[in-house]
Amino acid sequence: MALDKLYQQVILDHNRSPRHYGRLEGATHSARGHDALCGDDILVELRVADGKIQEAAFSGEACAITTASASMLMDWLVGRSRSEVALEHAHFAQLLDDPELPDRPELGAINHLRAVSGFPARVRNTLLPWRATLQALERQQ
Amino acid sequence: MDIVESKVKDQLDVFALREQFPVLARRVHDEKPLVYFDNAATAQRPLKVIEAMDDFYRRYNANVHRGVHQLSVEASEQFELARDSVRRLLNADSVREVVFTRGTTEAVNLVAQAYLRPRLEEGDEILITHMEHHSNIVPWQMLCEQTGAVLKVAPINRQGELLVEELASMINERTKLIGMVHVSNALGTINPVEEVCRIAKKHDVPVLVDGAQATPHMAVDVQALGCDFYCISAHKMYGPTGIGALWARESILEDMPPWQGGGEMITRVSFEGTTYNDLPHKFEAGTPNISGAIGFGKAVEFLEETGYEGIVWQEERLLEYATERMQAIDGLEIIGTAKHKGPVVSFTLEGAHPNDIGTIVDHYGVAIRTGHHCAMPVMQFFDVPATARVSFAPYNIRNEIDIFLEALGKARDMLA
Ligand SMILES: Cc1ncc(COP(=O)(O)O)c(C=O)c1O
């Protein structure tokens, strides 16, 4: 059942114990991801050096899907450059739109979130941490 | 009349009522019966409304007030009959006092721009309550920006009840209008409109009432309430979307300049000058939502035929049962526990974000609303990012509440 796929163990686990959760000391970039309609409100903080994300963290309050997406994303971000993030965001958005496409190995565990494509109203939650991350990378702190 | 007899009299034949709503027979998500608990966002439409609108398009679609031909005459007649139905609904004196709008939102904006704007000076005050829908906040904020007036907000308590004494103490000689919601969509609170109007009258301050959530559930008598403006939306009361009404006293409307210019709202136009049409057409520029108005009129008839006694009887039972069962759930907090409440239960559940609750119960066929309910200041007051909300209509049944509660239990288990 689609619902079991959305709320599968991996996703629930990331929601229950999100990785990289909390404030990041020494952050160089940050942005708020706020979806007033849903009530999601997170802060993404990054430490960037030598053109690569060295550390990433998020804090705030959000639904299970946003939380899991943020948790997986923070994990994935470490060691990536801004252009890589932008490229994979574009690919991820496409995967969420088209269930026929094969998983994208570059995205690793994030592919689990593709279950969201069966729940169009929740796609915005999945992408919120990505948008905040891209926004953070665009501004210098 | 003894108790048993009066009970039977008020009782609603809910299953017969359900038959009038074709959508209630729908199945969703693998053949699960639809449980529609999002009535405060928009109610469903009875056949009477659907068929009347269909009939208009099939048999007499024409523009109104413009043609000599038969179809136009028929369309105009039905359009104006609908206006009279709305007049009856609100117990207004005259159809001249009933202006069709796109809905509550447009009605509030009309009053803000055509009534209040010319009367406002810098430093004047507009007084609203902390439980308003955005549609009774933002038009006033815009007006404040335009004029330098100040928006004041009367407080509420933890139950979600308006503090009337505090509101009264906030009225002063600079207060130019009070805007208040009759029934809160986010909390369910039924406000003491009559009492506020009495207080306002002493200070000669007009009162605008957002009645969007009132007319679906209770008889409204604008004269008994003593208000000056009353705003409603057809779609909350079983009519179509995109149509609603503003009621205002004739003397006030007469004094107001038109809002939008165009066809319908004039009697004569030349480049030297234009004479405006009579009430209420002065405020209805352009071709109106004709089928919408006709559906609106039928929605009023539907309410009259069903009867508010029966509606209240059924809704109170649903609210009581849902409240009782939900209060017993560990970690569930009901937001909005006013003594006088409409059939709305907003809540939060520990460990489960409203968004996830919404998605999971939807999977079991239960449609609920999650989010800020267009009342973000209410969320801020209760310090929650969002709530989940079930809202009932008289066609809902106890069994549906059981289905919802079971689905809610599944959501909790799943997310735990
Ligand atoms: C209390 C209240 N006021 C105003 C509105 C706005 O109504 P509409 O969107 O039909 O203009 C609504 C509905 O969303 C409401 O619930």
CATH number at residue B140: 3.40.640.10
Chain A residues with CB under 8 Å of B385 CB are 39-41, 61
Question: Do the domain assignments include residue B1?
Answer: no
Contact B58, B68 (CB under 8 A): no
Structural contact between residues B14 and B367, judged by C-beta atoms closer than 8 angstroms: no
DSSP letters, A50-64, are: TTEEEEEEEEEE--H
pLDDT, mean of residues B91-97: 97
B374 is catalytic: yes
pLDDT-derived band at B6 (thresholds 50, 70, 90) equals low
Q: How far is the CA of B226 from the centre of ligand 1 (A)?
A: 22
As a CATH number, domain A3-138 is 3.90.1010.10
Query: Residue A39 is nearest to which of B354, B414, B415, comparing CB atoms?
Result: B354
**What integer is the mean pLDDT of B190-205?**
98
Q: Could you report the average pLDDT of every consecutive run of 10 residues in chain A (141 residues)? A: 90 95 97 93 97 97 97 98 96 94 97 94 96 90 46
Q: Phi and psi (nearest 5°) for B33? A: -65, 140
Q: Say if B282 falls within a structural domain.
A: yes
Q: Which helix (H) or strand (E) holds B326?
A: helix B308-327
Place of tokens 């239990």: B409
- Among A20-34, A119-133, B267-281, B284-298, the range scoring the smallest mean pLDDT is B267-281
- Taking the domains of chain A in order of start, what are their residue ranges? 3-138
Query: Among A11, A34, A68, A40, which residue's Cα sits nearest to residue B355?
Result: A40
B33 beta partners = B27
Confidence of residue B116 (pLDDT cuts 50, 70, 90): very high
Q: Are residue B89 and residue B198 in the same domain, yes or no?
A: yes
The answer to whether residue B9 scores a pLDDT higher than 70 is no
The mean pLDDT value for B326-341 works out to: 98
* pLDDT tens digits, A116-137: 998 999 999 999 999 999 999 9
**Global pTM?**
0.93
pLDDT reported for residue A2: 85
Residue B276 buriedness (CB in 10 A; 0-12 / 13-18 / 19+): middle
CB of A32 closer than 8 Å to CB of A41: yes
Q: Summarize the confidence of residues B274-296 as an average pLDDT.
A: 95
- B219 pLDDT exceeds 80? yes
Q: Pick from B274, B305, B336: which residue ends a domain?
A: B305
B11 pLDDT more than 50: yes
Domains of chain B: total: 2
Are B347 and B274 in a shared domain?
A: no
Q: What is the pLDDT averaged over residues B152-179?
A: 98
Phi, psi of B278 (to 5 degrees): -70, 165
Residue B416 C-alpha from the chain's centroid:
36
User: Does B5 score more than 70 pLDDT?
Assistant: no
Cis bond upstream, residue A102 (ω within 30): no
Structural domain of B111: 50-305
Measured between alpha carbons, how far is residue B367 from residues A115, B3, B212, B345, B391 in Å? 21, 36, 20, 14, 10
Q: What is the number of other CB atoms lying within 10 angstroms of the CB of residue A103?
A: 12
pLDDT value, residue A1? 66
pLDDT in tens, B29-60: 999 999 999 999 999 999 999 999 999 999 99
Residues touching ligand 1 (Cβ under 6 Å) are B 103-105, 133, 135, 181, 185, 210, 212-213, 233, 244, 374
Residue range B266-291: mean pLDDT, rounded: 92
Output the pLDDT for position B268.
87
In a domain, B42, yes or no: no
Question: What six digits make up the tokens of B159?
Answer: 């139950």
pLDDT at B1: 44
Task: Residue A15: list chain B partners with CB under 8 A.
Answer: 415
- The answer to whether residue B43 sits within a structural domain is no
**Are B386 and A38 an interchain contact pair (Cβ–Cβ within 8 Å)?**
yes
Mean pLDDT score of chain B, rounded to an integer? 96
- Residue A26: CB partners within 8 Å, gap ≥ 6? A47, A55
**pLDDT tens-digit series, residues B101-111:** 999 999 999 99
**Rounded Cα–Cα distance for residues B64 and B218 (Å):** 31
